[in-house]
Amino acid sequence: MTFSFDAINPERSIVFLPFDGQHSQDVGGTPTQVCRSLSKVPGSLDYARMGNGTTSSTFPTQLAPRGVYLDGGDYVDLDWTVGSPLDSTSFTFLLYGRVKPSDMGTYDRLYEIGIVHQRYALYWDKSAGVLEFFVDDLVNTFLRSSKGYPDSQDHVYAVSIDRNACRMYCDGEVIDSIEGDYRLPSFDPATLATIGAYPPLPTANSFKGEMYQAAIYPFALNSVQVREWGRRARQARTI
């Protein structure tokens, strides 16, 4: 196991969202609500759209000094089609946030990458009382755990997948894993990636809670790296 922390630096990520402020930016001639991305990976954007970028009801609420609150109908659209930055199905998704039990819906989606029959999703299953990672079209391939279930406390959630294994973390601890290669084929140009909701699905499936930082890396991180990412995210929240 490598303990190099260079891998978790923002410039190594596909997307690195500090959620430290929203602003209006000209995107294709249209004023668009965005937040900045610190990733400098070739082909990646330096921003992520808040909701669809133009409809205010889809914008998350900005928190101070950083972070956003999603009310169950808000989301962050990462717009993978521009530059096609996700050219590998190996990745690690990390999210630092908090959910109150009273805010829970039936299925609260923390993020979704892909299209129908070709996607990865991380979501809360209220009926089962677990956090679940689902690989579409492979019904028996999923991770689940009640660890870190909405309790009004801050948690760092992560999922990594590569040719060796698929692992789910909570606060740096592996809470479920499957050994082997369960990656989906490469995504097509229609691929979507959203944090907080998957727009074609009913809003009942949308995330409701606070998010303080998020990132996606094009490779798998180990538990030590995930734990250090979380430490830095917690420290950055107060800056």
What is the C-alpha separation between 2 and 11, in angstroms, rounded?
19
Indicate if the pLDDT at residue 172 is higher than 60.
Answer: yes
Does a structural domain hold residue 64?
A: yes
Give the mean model confidence (pLDDT) for residues 180-201: 76
Split into its structural domains, the chain has a count of 1
The string of pLDDT tens digits covering residues 114-140 is 777 778 889 888 888 899 998 876 666
Does a structural domain hold residue 5?
A: no
What is the C-alpha separation between 44 and 80, in angstroms, rounded?
8
Does a structural domain hold residue 3?
A: no
Q: At 174, which CATH number?
A: 2.60.120.200
Where does the pLDDT of residue 1 fall: very low under 50, low under 70, confident under 90, or very high at 90 and above?
low
The string of pLDDT tens digits covering residues 44-62 is 788 999 999 999 999 999 9
157 in Cβ contact with 95 (< 8 Å): yes
Give me the domain span that covers residue 139.
14-237
Where does the pLDDT of residue 238 fall: very low under 50, low under 70, confident under 90, or very high at 90 and above?
confident
What is the C-alpha separation between 60 and 97, in angstroms, rounded?
14
Mean pLDDT of the chain: 86
User: What is the pLDDT, as a whole number, of residue 87?
Assistant: 54
Does a structural domain hold residue 47?
A: yes
The string of pLDDT tens digits covering residues 208-236 is 899 999 999 989 999 999 999 999 999 99
